[in-house]
């Protein structure tokens, strides 16, 4: 793993923590400004501030490769609005020298501000709770917090809920982390790591690997890798991969859930469902097509064969991560016309 530079260095990890602390301070100042502007300072408590900055995704799971982005969400009380983030906070960010490449993505399913702070790329989302204060024992995975919350906040909370649920459902996160980092490198080198293009994204690889971690809780990382490729090279798609039972509804929220209700018919067309583990369950790989599935199945089989040879002492780890030659199967090499 060291040879492939898969483990972030201690100094990179320390720099990430420092940058996150700066971001946290910036969010605190922003929330205070909004409270002051709206004459709400009587309700502002330093001990229990009306916001929490949470990380999720690969950084939170500790499976990020060096240089990976940091997925963050600011969880706020009902006194802060999304417009505040896209106006006040955005303007404050524009003025900072340590922030570059600042972009608003306001109309997305998960509205975010994208930026680079110091050397790290960030996505910052916002989830607005229905409460006037953040509950002291706030457990983000509890479905009750989704009540009276707008759709964009539900999707913004979803990232943290999914990541925290994965952590709680897998007994062996410590060993699995190595396996997931290796899988990310494999998927990148073999050209199958890009959710929008119909391949795997971080979350889909993490769920698939977590399932293997559940099935083989005592296996070492190298074995887990083999079991991963062994299992998925034989998987009977479109049988879904998931970590827990899918709940059709919770607290009468009636949110669209994969495989249920209004979405049921179109969900049946999904070729390689990998289902997120908390309400409302979603397919993390809805973009997979017949051809990308075929490519991935070929890659699972190739990787399974190589892992078997490695475990028998007949191949090297570097064979598994050998970069794909995109034109190796093309009978005619493409000509690029400028």
Ligand X SMILES: Nc1ncnc2c1ncn2[C@@H]1O[C@H](COP(=O)(O)OP(=O)(O)OP(=O)(O)O)[C@@H](O)[C@H]1O
Least separation in angstroms between residue 94's CB and Mg ion is: 24
Least separation in angstroms between residue 82's CB and Mg ion is: 21
Is 123 labelled as part of a ligand binding site? yes
How far apart are the C-alpha atoms of 264 and 286, rounded to whole Å? 13
How far apart are the C-alpha atoms of 287 and 272, rounded to whole Å? 9
Toward ligand X, which CB reaches closer, 69 or 319?
Answer: 69
Toward ligand X, which CB reaches closer, 63 or 307?
Answer: 63
Toward Mg ion, which CB reaches closer, 58 or 156?
Answer: 58
Footprint of Mg ion on 59-78 (CB under 5 A): 69, 71
The catalytic residue among 184, 204, 226, 279 is 184
For 51-83, give the DSSP string: EEEEEEHHHHHT-PPTT--EEEEEEE-TTS-HH
DSSP state at residue 280: S
Least separation in angstroms between residue 88's CB and Mg ion is: 26
Q: Which residues contact 131 (CB under 8 A, 6 or more apart)?
A: 77, 78
Q: Which entry of ligand X, Mg ion, none binds 155, CB below 5 to 8 A by partner kind?
A: none
Is 71 labelled as part of a ligand binding site? yes
How far apart are the C-alpha atoms of 7 and 1, rounded to whole Å? 7
69 an active-site residue? yes
How far apart are the C-alpha atoms of 8 and 4, rounded to whole Å? 11
Residues 41-60 as x/- pattern, contact with Mg ion by CB under 5 A: ----------------xx--
User: Does 240 sit near Mg ion (CB under 5 A)?
Assistant: no
How far apart are the C-alpha atoms of 280 and 258, rounded to whole Å? 8
Helix H or strand E segment including 99: strand 99-105
The catalytic residue among 35, 71, 88, 204 is 71
What separation in angstroms does the CA of 71 have from each of 136, 151, 202?
A: 24, 19, 12
Toward ligand X, which CB reaches closer, 77 or 283?
Answer: 283
266 an active-site residue? no
Instruction: Give the binding site for ligand X (CB under 6 A).
Output: 56-58, 64, 68-69, 71, 159, 162-163, 195, 201-203, 206, 276, 282, 284
Is 51 labelled as part of a ligand binding site? no
Enumerate the active-site residues: 58, 69, 71, 123, 184, 193
Residue ranges for the known binding site for Mg(2+) are: 69, 71, 123
């Amino acid at each position: 793993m060291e040879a492939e530079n898969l483990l972030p260095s201690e100094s990179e990890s320390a720099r990430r923590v420092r940058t996150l602390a700066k971001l946290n301070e910036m969010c605190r100042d922003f929330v205070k400004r909004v409270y002051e502007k709206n004459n709400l300072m009587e309700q502002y408590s330093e001990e229990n501030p009306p916001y929490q900055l949470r990380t999720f995704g690969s950084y939170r799971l500790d499976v990020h490769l060096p240089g990976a982005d940091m997925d963050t969400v600011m969880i706020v009380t009902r006194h802060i609005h999304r417009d505040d983030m896209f106006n006040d906070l955005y303007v404050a960010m524009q003025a900072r020298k340590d922030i570059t490449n600042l972009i608003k993505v306001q109309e997305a399913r998960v509205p975010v501000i994208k930026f680079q702070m110091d050397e790290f790329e960030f996505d910052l989302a916002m989830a607005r709770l229905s409460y006037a204060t953040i509950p002291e024992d706030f457990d983000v995975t509890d479905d009750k917090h989704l009540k009276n919350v707008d759709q964009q906040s539900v999707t913004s909370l979803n990232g943290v809920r999914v990541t925290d649920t994965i952590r709680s459902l897998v007994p062996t996160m410590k060993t699995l982390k190595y396996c997931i980092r290796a899988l990310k490198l494999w998927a990148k080198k073999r050209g199958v790591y890009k959710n929008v293009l119909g391949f795997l994204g971080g979350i889909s690889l993490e769920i698939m690997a977590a399932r293997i971690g559940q099935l083989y809780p005592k296996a070492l990382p190298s074995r887990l890798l083999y079991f991963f490729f062994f299992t998925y090279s034989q998987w009977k798609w479109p049988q879904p991969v998931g970590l827990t039972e899918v709940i059709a509804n919770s607290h009468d929220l009636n949110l669209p859930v994969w495989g249920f209700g209004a979405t049921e018919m179109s969900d049946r067309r999904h070729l390689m469902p990998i289902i997120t583990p908390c309400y409302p369950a979603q397919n993390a790989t809805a973009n997979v097509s017949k051809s990308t599935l075929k490519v991935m199945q070929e890659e699972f089989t190739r990787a399974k064969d190589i892992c078997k040879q490695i475990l028998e002492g007949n191949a090297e780890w570097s064979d598994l991560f050998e970069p794909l030659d995109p034109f190796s199967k093309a009978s005619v090499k493409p000509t690029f016309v400028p």
